[in-house]
Structures are given as C-alpha cells and as structure tokens.
Amino acid sequence: MEKINNQQIGIEKRQTIGDRIRGKTYEQLYGVERAKIRKEKYSALRKGHIVSDVTKAKITKELTGKKLSPESIRKRTETRRRLFLEGNLKTNKGFKFSEESRRKLSLAHKGKIVSSKTKDLMSKKYKGISFIKRYGGERSKSIIEKISKQLRGRKISPDHRMALIDANTGRECSDETRNKISKSQIGKIIPLEQIRKMVSTRLSHGGYISAMKGKKHTEESKKKMRIKRALQIFPVKDTSIEIKIQDFLKDLNMDFVTHNYMSDIYHSYQCDIYLPKYNIILEADGDYWHGNPAKYKWGELTEWQKNQRWKDDIRTYELQTAGYKVLRLWEVDIKQMDLNSFKIILNNIIKEKNPLMQNMENKYSMIPIIKFQKMGGK
C-alpha cells in the first residue's frame, strides 16, 4: 500500500514539474549561462544514444500539428548554418532511405498544397538543372519513370499545353536530348484530328508563330530535309481515282510502284504511279486541285490552282526530257473509264515514242518559274 502511494506521488510530482516547464526554453528556466552548461552536459550524455520507437512515437505525437514560432525557426536555421560551417552538420547526402521511410514520407506529403511562393523558389532553384545533375544517374532514372507512369494517359488542357510551350520557348536542348526526341518521333504518324486540335489550340491563344520566323535554313539542313522528304509518302492515303488505276494495273498483271520519288529532274517530286518496265509515269489528276481546263476557265482559277497547273506542265516537260513517257489522266475521265478503255490508252502510250514537247501548249499557264520556286518548288 505504501509502495503504491509512493508511485502515485512520483507520477503527480513529474506531472507538476512537466506543467511548470512545458513550453519554456532553457534560457527562461535557468538563465543564459546555466542553460548553456546544461545543454552541453545533456548533449554529451545523449551522444550515441539510440532513441526507442516508443519515444519516437511520443515525440511525433507531441509535435504533430504544432507550428514553430518565427523565433524558433530563426534559431534552428542559425544553428544548422553554424554546424554546417564547422563541418559537424549531419546531412542526408549519400544516404539512402528505406522503402518504408520513402512510403511514410510520401504519405506525409500527400495532399499538401504548395504555396505559390514555394513553387517560385523551387522553380528558380532548379531552373536549367537536369534530374541527373540533381539526383544522380540511378535515382533520376527511377524519378523519370515514376513521373512518366503517372502522366501516361492524362489529358492536358489547352491552357496547360500553351503554358508548357511558353515555358520551353527559347530553351536550347542538348544534342543528346535532340537525338532522343528525333528517335522517339521516327515512324510516328500524327492523326488528322490531332493536327486540327493543335492548330485550333494555337489559333485560340493568339495564333501560330513559326519557330523559323526570321531565320534561314543552312544548306546542310536543306539537304537533310530533301532526303527526308524523298522518303515520306504524300498523301498518306491514296485517292479514289489513284486506287482505281492501281486496280486496273493489277488486273492487267503489270508491275508498278506508287509514290516513287523522281529525283533525276530539277523539280523533283513523288509521282502517283511508275511503271519501271516501260518507263512510264501515270498521273491521276483531280479536276479541282489540278485545275482541269475542260471544267475551269483560266480566270476562274485560284492562284494556287494556276501554280499547280504550271508545276504539272514543267514536271511533264522535265520527265519527258529525262526519257520518261508521261500519261496524265483527269478525274472526270477516270470515273467513266473501264478496264478495256484504260488498256487501249496504255497500249497506245507504250507503242509511242517519247513525245518530247518541243513547244509546250501553255495557253492557260502564264505564271513564271520564279513564282513556282517561291511557292514550294526547288
């Protein structure tokens, strides 16, 4: 009975002492000089001491929800700065957190809203510094994979997309980054709907400004572009009249190549169909896009149609000069054409000698060659 009373007295005594000193600093309790001695003594006693999980839990519970006063933050900052200069500050540099610790840290930060001020500070601190420079090779790789996994399939709003474009405008990529972007885009075909969305997004945010505005391509860049363009297929989908001519050739068991790049003429381009055995070029010209003179008078044509007709004439002449036979068929004729009529027309051009045009019949084509060069020719 006496033992129980003594224990109870001890507990009450500790509680009284705790209430008396709670929230007070050493300086407030003992004065500056004595507080300094007690801190050094206490520090020496606790050096190397391992805090139990129970004590850690108690400390965590006690500090949860509490905010440090500006004075405490200032003191802590000064202490850390002093220890850092002395070389006694223990940092996490080179330290690897366990998976459990990472999980706990992640849960502790989940749902926290970062202030605009903090975002600006972080942005300024890490601007222009890659993940590799920040965290090293292995950790940066895992971070990039994690971010990529989280963003996969997420839709970006037009405003966010424009903000990203503005943020990256003027930023110079390293050669390694350029090569990565280039490799990732090889073989990709952007759907027409996506192109329309991209255009409409840019137009709704003040219009599209070309990145090449005011700049000129180098001769090396032009050469690379020509080589790349030669390997691209235009258009991606064949027109109905092209498909009809292809079907006729298949029925006649004739070998042909579609969209063959004609590089041996000055105004090189991709022809619709090429018959290698007979050295014949077949062109299926749409009435509107190529300006069929049987349907459209010269004065009714747009500037683009006039230019296209000139391109057709000049390319036909250059192909015939290079030794090719050229057969141009209009859309209106192809739609009415059957296999027998196509066979007769094809046999006639196979038997004929190369009808090199001595005088091009340019009754309707009056655009000079310089104009064609400006509008996309070589």
Report the pLDDT value the prediction gives residue 49, as an integer from 0 to 100. Answer: 73
Q: Which residues pair with 258 in a beta bridge?
A: 273
How far is the C-alpha of 269 from the C-alpha of 19, rounded, in Å? 91
Q: What is the pLDDT of residues 272-290, one digit of tens each?
A: 999 999 999 999 999 998 9
Peptide bond into 355 cis (omega under 30): no
The CA distances from residue 86 to 79, 89, 91, 155, in Å, are: 11, 8, 13, 50
Amino acid residing at 160 = H
Record the tokens describing residue 333, joined without a space. 């004729």
Domains and CATH numbers, the chain: 1-44 (no CATH), 227-374 (3.40.960.10)
Amino acid residing at 188 = K
Query: 68-77, 276-285, 290-299, 313-322: which has the minimum mean pLDDT?
Result: 68-77
Residue 343 CB partners (closer than 8 Å, separation 6+): 248, 252
Cβ atoms 258, 273 nearer than 8 A: yes
Report the pLDDT value the prediction gives residue 370, as an integer from 0 to 100. Answer: 36
Q: What is the pLDDT of residues 188-229, one digit of tens each?
A: 777 777 777 776 666 655 555 566 667 788 888 888 887 777
Report the pLDDT value the prediction gives residue 152, as an integer from 0 to 100. Answer: 80
Greater confidence (231 vs 301) lies with 301
**Average pLDDT value for the chain:** 78
pLDDT bracket for residue 368 (50, 70, 90): very low
Q: What is the pLDDT of residues 22-44, one digit of tens each?
A: 767 777 777 888 888 877 777 77
Cβ atoms 75, 35 nearer than 8 A: no
pLDDT at 334 over 50: yes
Q: What is the pLDDT of residues 114-133, one digit of tens each?
A: 888 888 887 777 777 777 77
How far is the C-alpha of 177 from the C-alpha of 310, rounded, in Å? 42
Give the strand pairing for 261-262 and 269-270: antiparallel
Q: Where are the beta strands (DSSP E) in the chain?
A: 257-258, 261-262, 269-270, 273-275, 280-285, 325-330
Return the top range by mean pLDDT from 20-34, 213-227, 302-316, 356-370.
302-316
pLDDT at 360 over 50: no
pLDDT bracket for residue 1 (50, 70, 90): very low
